Homo-oligomer: A and B are copies of this chain.
Amino acid sequence: MPELRRDPVVGYWTIISTERSRRPVEYHSSPVTEERSCPFCEGRESETPNEIYAVREPGTPPNGPGWRARAILSKMPILAEPDGSDRFGRGIYDLMEGVGKHEIIVESPRHRHSLDELEVSEIEAVIQVYAERLNELGKDPRFIYALLFKNHGLISGSARDVIRHTRSQLIAMPITPKRLKEELESARSYFERRERCVFCDILRQESQEAARVVSENKRFFAFCPFASRSPFEVWILPKMHCPDFGRLEAAAFADLALILKQCLFKIRALLQDPPYNMVLHTAPYRHSKKQGYWKTLEDDFHWYWQITPRLTRDAGFEWGTGIYINPTPPEDAALLLRETAYATTA
């Protein structure tokens, strides 16, 4: 069971893999090349943990073919089911066991590398699984937040092999992540001063200025943020104020699927299939009353997808200051992304 340890100075949490310590030489072994037989492809369901949820053809049983998108437990969980743990201290240090749930959302039965290679209707099924699993995990009172994200072409700190089959990860956790807390607190403070949602204000200004727009449709707006930390970073927001991604109505799935496909396609075409992160920022679960700032959440937070191509690597300056250096102004990035033709491949 991994340990969650709290830094005694600033208070950030780190997940320490105590179960099996990675030795120095293992940081140097090159990643395994693309697997011959992918466990995420249709027909290989027996090679993955049991299905938790799937969008399926009517009448097909779980754990077999006939699905369009499915959620399974991770075989290498960052956080896992508890075995009777709790917070505890060790001198001035705080730690707890790494309680949580780590699911993998397989986005296609076919061996596709990138989400934007799927048809819009297939991406709609993926969005349905996202919303369903986010809402379902929220019913467990132990979980305060669930992070939904995608690592495209990236090896994260924990994984050692590379399987390119398109998928996302959903990790439910018992703490409020520091980065989300900052965002919630800042958005609340903005709301208290102005009685307006900061994200709605951003949408209004971006729509008027138009210089950083990437794409938009009836329900969604995509743009390169004013203070983008990474070149070609894109945010996708619903035009109507809404704090929870889980409340997304089925009628909006198609519009979201389309704008996601457009943005990811443009990034892949313009930047030669760069590695990227895609992270959902959404409100924490409402059953928790531990933090006062969740009370006003209805008005002051606004969910969005953040897509971050990983073209630069942060070094000493970024680590020491938290200030990132972006060599491509978002106005230039947005113009190039707008000019990149969106050609439907499906």
Contacts and interface: CB of A to CB of B under 8 A. Distances in A.
A316 interface: yes
A73 interface: no
Interface stretch (A43-51, A119-127, A222-230, A257-265): A222-230
Interface string A132-151: 00000000000000010111
B279 A10 contact: no
Nearest to A102: B317
Most buried by B among A9, A150, A228, A319: A9
A326 B227 contact: no
Interface in A145-193: 147, 149-151, 154-158, 169, 171, 173, 177-180, 182-183, 186-187, 190
A173 B317 CA distance: 12
Contact of A22 (B151, B231, B281): B231
B156 A21 contact: no
Contacts of A318: 156-157
B231 A5 contact: no
Nearest to A149: B316
Interface residues of A, number: 92
A285 to B, nearest CB: 15
A91 B183 CA distance: 20
A6 interface: yes
A297 B336 CA distance: 47
Main secondary structure of the interface of A (DSSP, over half): mixed
B325 A157 contact: yes
Most buried by B among A3, A12, A169, A325: A325
A340 to B, nearest CB: 9
B9 A157 contact: no
A326 to B, nearest CB: 5
A325 B158 contact: yes
Given A177-B321, A279-B320, A186 B24 contact: no
A193 to B, nearest CB: 12
Interface stretch (A32-40, A107-115, A270-278): A270-278
Interface of A: 3, 5-18, 21-24, 27-28, 78, 91-93, 147, 149-151, 154-158, 169, 171, 173, 177-180, 182-183, 186-187, 190, 198-199, 201-202, 205, 209, 225-229, 231-232, 270-272, 274, 277-281, 306, 308, 311-330, 332, 336
26 contacts: A7-B226, A8-B198, A8-B226, A9-B183, A9-B198, A13-B227, A14-B229, A16-B330, A17-B326, A17-B327, A18-B329, A21-B327, A22-B231, A22-B327, A24-B270, A24-B336, A27-B271, A92-B205, A149-B320, A150-B316, A156-B314, A158-B327, A179-B319, A179-B320, A180-B321, A280-B320
Nearest 5 Cβ contacts at the A-B interface: A149-B316, A177-B321, A156-B315, A179-B322, A157-B312
